[in-house]
Structure 1
């Protein structure tokens, strides 16, 4: 027997002893285990402090596999702030807690990752493609086709099948449990948008090439949207038509741009119940406003403004920019960002912000409340933001 096999056998014996002992005295173990497993990951730190028995149970592979089988991922917000050494943080709304995730080993020390897409599918977080840029001027920027997955059950990153084509600043969305990507740029097409598209099946861990986009966009970053069963690649200029891919017909069609006419091209779009569309119209120093659209033919209308902030030792309110915007459990979260402050010399400086605010878009006027702020120093400009909502498996 090898040394690793011997260590695994010892761990299995210890785990069996742990499970054989009463988890909660006077309570049936199967029911006690089910109750503990149903708690979201944000409570794990407290659970591990109860006893060594609970700590070993929560950290065991049996526990993570049981939660994965049941689909009990809980609901999460995954966020990456610029300058935080590529360290993602996660928020658990049930526990109202933020905590850092393990390091993403795909990004080497001294390199920054940007231009990627992030989505949640099959109760996991995927970080797809993008650019690796070194702080050293002697290193070239690398466009990658890497895809890494964070498993919230095992709390670990793992490389999965790479895209067929390296790309950055591309459109991406999840439609019917599959991940669609299109357009973007690579080292050969940095001046023009790519026409290639592909789809990822997380069950088969395989990428398949799709028909080319008829009208590639110059910059498709944050312009992908899943809407009414189709993958939309939104126009990157005001008035430019969008392209929609129908997975059933395996074909593209041109559709009217569903962005508001004045909205920033960084379309922070979300589809809520009854196919209602929401986005944020970011006007810079003029503030930011949430807009909604109820039907295809309907007009965009204002829902309310994103709250400004008041910083210590500064008069008046200041708008927040470069924040994360995510929808989770029928609520909107505005996360972190930067606040422009005018210095004594008359220049604007940007202050990192870690405050997180949430509202229900159906409440009028919008009633924003604060949640627990991001764990320091994760605040500032948000370059990755996506939500995961627990989907139970049958």
Structure 2
């Protein structure tokens, strides 16, 4: 389909009187949220918007790329997932848009975002760990199969670093093959996985949360956690301070790791100071307890938070907020609400927010 799209727009004039190369650059500067209107212009424009060339140009124009949030929700007593999209730049009230259902049904998968693609790694299918990798291409709203991992995993840790996907844990190192591949890395250019050497003393850990901070992959287990630095090929244990303060699914924004704690506060962790601090300035504008809070980095110092609301009738509300974060001159963390909203899109009550992922498009 992409080859046909490339041929369709390259054989015609996108804008009369302007070379296609220049017209492409002009169209690529239009915000992603306005692309539905561009589809209405002409057949050649529709073909352009379905082409890789168009998004290659957009990625080079960093000022044109805007973040979109992808939320996965698991209904109660179900192994299936709903994938939803929200545009943080859309005017209020915000809306959640349903996405094509994934061609798989698994629990305990880990996710990593690399460019415009979301990698869904492993998970349990009928209580059996899987090595399968599925990729959602956010540019074209479609699923495709990816290269399988060397080892089957569930509840692993994953992250994108230097253009590669790293995954670790989620498997029992009960054989040489599993032990040598307890951690592995995917090079998307070659489409192949390679083992990442890891110490024996970290290989019994099952991960429940992870984040990329300062060029390193942080992975938390039920007790303790590990840090992998690919630049130095080095493993270290997380500090006691980080271990005690990390709760739930966290996100790193401008070098600070944020999570929502059991006391109903958003806190940030500074690795250099090995210290947690409360994100102040937002206490009166968010619910006291954000059930199922999941966070994502919107870029530009902005933090996205999604939480499970109480809902009405058979449906559950999902609350969302965008927070601008700053480091004060005295060293404290302060946030201000850019917007907050409650959305409802036929999500069954007692559902669980599993992931909240930011993708630049």
TM-score (norm 1): 0.71
Equivalents in 1 of 2:258, 2:52: separation in Å? 40
Equivalents in 1 of 2:324, 2:154: separation in Å? 33
Deviation at 1:163, TM superposition (A): 0.9
Q: RMSD of the TM alignment (CA)?
A: 3.9
1:114 aligns with 2:114: no
Q: SS of the counterpart of 1:320?
A: coil
1:250 to 210, 217, 233: 233
CA contact (8 A) 1:145 1:163 kept: yes
Q: 1:356 to 1:167 in 2, by over 3 A?
A: same
Equivalents in 1 of 2:203, 2:334: separation in Å? 39
1:221 aligns with 2:180: no
1:148 to 134, 141, 144: 134
1:76 aligns with 2:46: no
Deviation at 1:156, TM superposition (A): 2.2
Larger Rg: 1
Equivalents in 1 of 2:334, 2:61: separation in Å? 38
2:323 to 335, 359, 363: 359
1:89 to 77, 84, 94: 84
1:339 aligns with 2:279: no
CA contact (8 A) 1:323 1:338 kept: no
Q: SS of the counterpart of 2:198?
A: coil
Which residue number in structure 1 is paired with residue 198 of structure 2?
212
Deviations along 1:44-64, one digit per CA (max 9) or x if unpaired, are 212223445533442356545
Q: SS of the counterpart of 1:367?
A: strand
Please, which runs of 5 or more residues in structure 2 have no aligned partner? 328-332
Which residue number in structure 1 is paired with residue 169 of structure 2?
183
Deviation at 1:14, TM superposition (A): 5.2
Which residue number in structure 2 is paired with residue 126 of structure 1?
119
TM-score (norm 2): 0.77
Q: 1:70 to 1:303 in 2, by over 3 A?
A: closer
Deviations along 1:346-376, one digit per CA (max 9) or x if unpaired, are xxx9972223211112287643243565571
Equivalents in 2 of 1:356, 1:208: separation in Å? 38
Equivalents in 1 of 2:57, 2:311: separation in Å? 47
CA contact (8 A) 2:180 2:197 kept: no
